[in-house]
Amino acid sequence: MEPEVGERRRVQTADNLLNIIGIIDENDGAGVSEIADEVGLAKSTVHEYLYTLVDRKYLVNQNGEYQLGLKFYTHGISAKDQYDFLPTAEPYLEKLADETGGGVAVVVEEHGISVIVQTARGEHAVETHANTRNGHRQHLHCHAAGKVILAHMDEEDIYQIIERYGLPEKTANTITDPQELFEELADIREQGYAVNDEETDRKVKAIAAPIFSQNDDIVGALAIDGPAGWMDRKDFEANFPDHLTSAVDEIMLRYDWNKPSE
């Protein structure tokens, strides 16, 4: 974990710029008036930011509605390429999705938040924005992959994450008490996998196992999710851990952890 950003001086201009980008992303496009209202800036000031972003090819102006440009996609690919075990993992994700019928994802941690970086969809995968979109970000404490990652982090880092983000409640099943969370993390380390029992979305369950480097550092998690009723009928806690650990073992065996990144 890095020192919290709040411990350093943030630049207001950069904050404004990133807030504008965030609004455009969240709304799948936005006009000047909408952006100005949300960020609390004058329209003339927003125009200046937008002009700069369009001129630098980060935004596209579609008849007065501003949308993200593909230059962000270029940066996103570069960021994803840092996790260079993903090409090795991809065929095992597809195989796991075919074998189990669930949705399969590789999740990593960045800045104390989980990020989906690779997915495969089985016939019973839950088609929601949250669990299908590469790049989706989520709190770590409320889903199986995030809890697996937390379970293998230093205790000090976990406390920093809780202090920074809290333990927000997503559903009635979400763990919101730090002591309860630490007890579950201990159970996860002992059993080797984590379960999401409708803790992020109602009627969705998941199970996840850790992916380790050759030095036993946690680098991510492999997860399977699906509709709660279907997952229960599959007796997922009895049947899916073997599928997960087999796929993870293959990924870790076949990836050369010693090779330098490109």
SS3 label, residue 115: strand
Classify residue 62: in a domain, yes or no. Answer: yes
pLDDT bracket for residue 124 (50, 70, 90): confident
pLDDT bracket for residue 262 (50, 70, 90): very low
Classify residue 217: in a domain, yes or no. Answer: yes
Handedness of CA 190, 194, 199, 202 (dihedral sign): negative
Rounded to an integer, the average pLDDT of 206-234 is 93
Element (H, E) at 218: strand 218-227
What total number of domains does the chain contain? 2
Under a CB-based contact definition with an 8 Å cutoff, are residues 177 and 167 in contact? yes
57 and 141 inside one domain: no
CA distance 133 to 116: 7
13 and 139 inside one domain: no
pTM of the model: 0.85
Whichever domain contains 169, its CATH number is 3.30.450.40
SS3 label, residue 210: strand
Under a CB-based contact definition with an 8 Å cutoff, are residues 145 and 105 in contact? yes
DSSP string for residues in 50-107: HHHHHHTTSEEEETTEEEE-THHHHHHHHHHTTSTTHHHHHHHHHHHHHHH-SEEEEE
CA distance 196 to 225: 9
Please determine, for residue 56, whether its predicted confidence score (pLDDT) is greater than 60: yes
pLDDT bracket for residue 42 (50, 70, 90): very high
167 and 45 inside one domain: no
106 and 236 inside one domain: yes
Give the model confidence (pLDDT) of 138-178 as tens digits. Answer: 999 999 999 999 999 999 999 999 999 999 999 999 999 99
- Nearest CA-CA partner of 188 in 160, 163, 208, 216: 208
Q: Could you give the C-alpha distances from 122 to 93, 119, 204, 212, 224, in angstroms and in order?
A: 10, 10, 15, 25, 10
Q: What angle do CA 79, 96, 253 make, to 5 degrees?
A: 65
What pLDDT sits at residue 126? Answer: 73
Classify residue 171: in a domain, yes or no. Answer: yes
169 and 50 inside one domain: no
What pLDDT sits at residue 147? Answer: 98
Instruction: Give residue 67's identity as a one-letter amino acid code.
Output: Q
116 and 189 inside one domain: yes
Rounded to an integer, the average pLDDT of 123-137 is 72
Please determine, for residue 259, whether its predicted confidence score (pLDDT) is greater than 70: no
Q: What residues does 68 pair with on adjacent strands?
A: 59
Whichever domain contains 16, its CATH number is 1.10.10.10
Place of tokens 């976990």: 158
Looking at every residue in the chain, the average pLDDT score rounds to: 91
